[in-house]
A and B are shown apart, each in its own frame.
Chain A
Amino acid sequence: MTALTGLSIAAVRDGLASRDFTAIELARAHLQAMEKTRHLNAFITETPEIALERAKQSDARRAKGRALGPMDGVPVAIKDLFCTADVLTTGGSHILDGFKPTYESTVTAKLKAAGAVMLGKTNLDEFAMGSSNITSYHGPVKNPWRGKRNDDLVPGGSSGGSAAAVAAGLSACAIGTDTGGSIRQPASFCGIVGMKPTYGRCSRWGIVAFASSLDQAGPFARSVEDTAILLAAMAGHDPRDSTSAPVDVPDFAAALGKGAKGLKVGIPKEYTMDGMPAEIDKLWKQGIAWMRAQGATCREVSLPHTRYALPTYYIVAPAEASSNLARYDGVRYGLRVAGKTLDEMYAATRGEGFGPEVRRRVLIGTYVLSAGYYDAYYLKAQKVRALIADDFRKVFGQVDVLLTPTAPSAAFAIGEKMDDPVAMYLNDVFTVPASLAGLPAISVPAGLDADGLPLGLHLIAKPFDEATLFRAAQALEEACGFATRPPGFGGNR
């Protein structure tokens, strides 16, 4: 990792502004790092031509005194779930073989318009379904962290490639999507900051859909401040997405630096779970102490329906997915496997095009929506979802943010939990409730476990109160002083 690849967005902005380096130099440094680090398999598609072209344009703008803002010239990695015009977009699936959209997702178009330099499309769990990036048709991503046992670890998922790329210094920042924890959990596993905005904050237009009522784009970076800068460039109302909220985007970065004094932090007692590793519990308690030390007040609160969140999520998300993925039928684009009849063609295409986890979720989703099961599963899940959202609403009458662990463990080895879907689904136990309620939440790297692997703490805020979320996250970040990079990637161990 050269000096240029370790910089924060803020440092890049300042460096470019003071002509310490150019956007082209910055892009080249990151492209070289990507080349050297291909063994991580963080990218499905590298886009050096686009990166260099955009960097060139950025430098040209700056030379004319027309730099666009804090993201101008900043390298960014894009989860390969965002449609990018004329660039292969796979969703991590075999079934989208060869698919190059003619259109650009709203979020990536906004980044482009802000001058950001796309480095490539990052690896992910197939259709964002997974918590370890092992379901990708394009192979697993390796976490740049290796731990004391030195085996290959998962980066978390589904946005594993984006998280790994940022952790390894291959990009200054990255974007991902979070449906049940797909940004926050990999951020925790990779020791970086990952944030899911309020549902409706960023447009879903042009993002390959997994579960429409939950999917939300969000930023990854190596600091809370960077995450706030990146989100500001992604967010905003989009008339092409009916679920995008017609609300103004505040200057998130401006809310930073205010400290935690006077902040009311809730500690949901239901997040203490049976069999929770002592290390996680210890870090959580440490987090409470850190927030107090920063001037916040912490109090226990109750979210009584928390334990129903995971089963509810695993009904709602597959139900929507089973319908959203019906369009991958081999008729218009992507993979088609021939069959003698139409139905055989469908079955062959979808059987071969989807991996086992996607097939499992399509089957679960189809089942819970079926006549005779709809009321018992889907309808009940919707009711529980409303109760969960209501729990949060009540609690946010008393506190500003909630503090919980991000994930029940640190990164595990590639190959672990692979034959036990339920164990895998448990990765999302702390992140899913906020997803169901559509709330903004962030994972902040807070410490290392006994194996030397990063662990994150998780903050949840009120709808559209990302400003307070960032403020609390920055206070936590300051208190825990986690400045560690993975060994071999600019790490300081």
Chain B
Amino acid sequence: MSYEIKGERGDWEVVVGLEVHAQIISNAKLFSGAAAQFGAAPNTQVSLVDAAMPGMLPVLNGHCVAQAVRTGLGLKAKINKRSVFERKNYFYPDLPPGYQISQYAQPIVGEGSILLDLPDGSTRAVGIERLHMEQDAGKSLHDQDPNRTFIDLNRAGVALMEIVSKPDIRSPEEAGLYLRKLRSILRYLGTCDGNMEEGSMRADVNVSVRPKGSNELRTRAEVKNVNSVRFVMQAIEAEAARQVAIYDAGGEVKQETRLYDSEKGETRPMRIKEFAHDYRYFPDPDLLPLVLTDEYIRKIEAALPELPDAKKQRFIAELGLSPYDAQVLAAERETADYFERVAQGGAGGKKGRRDAKQVANWVTGALFAHLNETGKTIAASPVAAEALGELLDLVADGTISGRIAKDVFAEMAATGKPAKAIIAAKGLTQISDAGVIEAAVNEVIAANPKQVADVRAGKEKTIGWLVGQVMKATQGKANPQMVNELLKRKLGG
């Protein structure tokens, strides 16, 4: 996936690292018992700790720790048995204590990696530098009143994981794949819902450029708080182009924090004040160092679900899927579960399973098409896995043809009715009665002497047209294989 930016004196490549803030799935905040649900009325999920009332103390939420460890293990990363919460000090009205509790010198998770699934079916590893836990700040609402700013502290103290990649990403597409893969892993683990619209996943994008083929790392700009995969990709493109233009003009790129304006498709610097801080990090004296035992980590590891990479490999090795289908089906846990429920159910096929390739075709074909059209998630699919399996069984046992099955599926999707009921009501059962088929074949032969003559003269392709005529005469219900064989026999093919 080579990505080049044409400069005046040669090609450039882009070097990207991502810092993803992922909200930990947890009922309560990182250091307080207040609820952490999205969309509550302003300031209804605020404890005395979140509001930084005098004398209030943080108490670490053990569930959030387990979630961070789970995520670290999912990223095949080193779990640090000793980590330290520090205070990042700065004044802002939506940060009540005047400091954010974060991890700095000693994060809970160290180096790991993520495999990108490239479009050609190959993979590429992107390194993870670290993962640390921290609190979110509240929200400043500047648009509620002309003269005042309102503060909503519902988010203040909500648990986040900051997941920092190494500068291994070389194109906007890879950044997109990285984010999608990370999101997929987090969702598999149940540690973050990955919902970028609701802000439960946000990315800071570090971008620099360098002449193609060089190994240097030039000054980077950080594009802050980008809230969709598409915008991340666009921001990289825009920022890389901007930097190349600066170098082309003989300038130097400044190390700075920028924002991506999706309407204008450009990045621009943040106001100086917002980042010219000396954060004065120091270990939070209200919290002891976080010490994990091997046993604790092993317990979490033992309970990890099968993750997308392993699932993909299994789909290829055990079910014979193509790498592409395997990756598509494994990308989301719900999809994979659906696929497996269809593939592993039923009485037909090897080892009591349905034909996995056929199931994959149905799921990525007819089902995805319907879901895309109707904007539904697979969890809300009108055709349940069991219902789809039943339909495929009816094709396998010859009750209906594959062609009729497409129509039946459409009807199932539209009405939610089971396949059998639709087939019975519409009389769609396949005709396999040799006598009935022979009668129809005879009629077609009699009615089309010219085509029959062509076949007899050696024009074999015309036999397909005659099959079509028989199918038409039987409203598609005749067993196409039987029709084919009978025609060939009668016409001496």
Give residues in A with beta carbon < 8 Å to B.
82-83, 89, 91, 96, 99, 101-103, 105, 204-209, 211-213, 239-243, 319-320, 322-323, 326-327, 329, 331-333, 342, 346, 366, 369-371, 374, 378
Contact = CB atoms under 8 A, between A and B. Distances in A.
A323 B60 contact: no
A241 B57 contact: yes
Contact of B54 (A239, A319, A327): A327
Interface in B224-253: none
Contacts of B55: 82-83, 101, 105, 204-209
A91 B278 contact: no
A109 to B, nearest CB: 12
A319 B60 contact: no
A326 B93 contact: no
B476 interface: no
A320 B53 contact: no
A371 B285 contact: no
10 contacts: A83-B54, A242-B60, A243-B286, A320-B285, A323-B282, A331-B93, A331-B96, A332-B52, A369-B89, A374-B280
Given A331-B151, A369-B282, A378-B282, A323 B89 contact: yes
B369 interface: no
A97 B55 CA distance: 16
Contacts of A240: 57, 59
B194 interface: no
Interface in B75-133: 87, 89, 91, 93, 96-99
Given A103-B53, A211-B285, 19 more contacts: A91-B54, A101-B53, A102-B48, A103-B48, A205-B57, A209-B55, A212-B284, A213-B285, A241-B57, A242-B57, A326-B89, A326-B99, A327-B96, A331-B151, A332-B53, A332-B96, A333-B53, A369-B89, A369-B282
Nearest to A331: B93
Interface of B: 48, 51-60, 87, 89, 91, 93, 96-99, 151, 278, 280-282, 284-288
A96 B89 CA distance: 21
Contacts of A327: 52, 54, 96-98
Contact of B288 (A205, A242, A319): A242
Contacts of A83: 53-55
A323 B87 contact: yes
B54 A323 contact: no
B159 to A, nearest CB: 16
Nearest to A378: B282
Nearest to B95: A326
A99 B56 CA distance: 14
Nearest to A83: B55
Contacts of A332: 51-53, 96
Most buried by B among A212, A241, A242, A366: A242
**Binding site secondary structure of chain B:** loop
A136 B99 CA distance: 26
Contacts of B286: 209, 212, 242-243
Contacts of B284: 212
Contacts of A346: 91
A206 B91 CA distance: 23
A192 B388 CA distance: 84
B91 A242 contact: no
A369 B96 contact: no
Contacts of B58: 242
B93 to A, nearest CB: 5
A319 B59 CA distance: 21
Contacts of A320: 285
Contacts of B89: 322-323, 326, 369
A319 to B, nearest CB: 6
B291 to A, nearest CB: 13
A403 B450 CA distance: 123
A91 B54 CA distance: 9
Contacts of A204: 55, 57
Nearest to A379: B282
Q: Which 10 A-B pairs have the closest CB atoms?
A: A326-B98, A212-B285, A213-B285, A369-B280, A327-B52, A206-B55, A208-B54, A371-B278, A83-B55, A327-B97
Contacts of A242: 57-60, 286-288
A470 to B, nearest CB: 27
A209 B282 CA distance: 16
A342 B93 contact: yes
A326 B97 contact: yes
B441 to A, nearest CB: 84
Contacts of B281: 369
Contacts of A323: 87, 89, 98-99, 280, 282
Most buried by A among B52, B59, B60, B282: B282
A332 B150 CA distance: 12
Contacts of B56: 205-206
A135 to B, nearest CB: 18
Nearest to B60: A242
A329 B57 contact: no
Contacts of B93: 329, 331, 342
B54 A329 contact: no
Nearest to A346: B91
Nearest to A382: B283
A242 B89 CA distance: 21
A393 to B, nearest CB: 19
A370 B280 contact: yes
B229 to A, nearest CB: 34
B59 A99 contact: no
A297 to B, nearest CB: 37
Contacts of A241: 57, 59
A205 B60 CA distance: 14
A208 B57 CA distance: 10
A96 B97 CA distance: 15
Contacts of B282: 319, 323, 369, 374, 378
Contacts of B57: 204-205, 240-242
A6 B99 CA distance: 47
Contacts of B53: 83, 101, 103, 332-333
Contacts of A211: 285
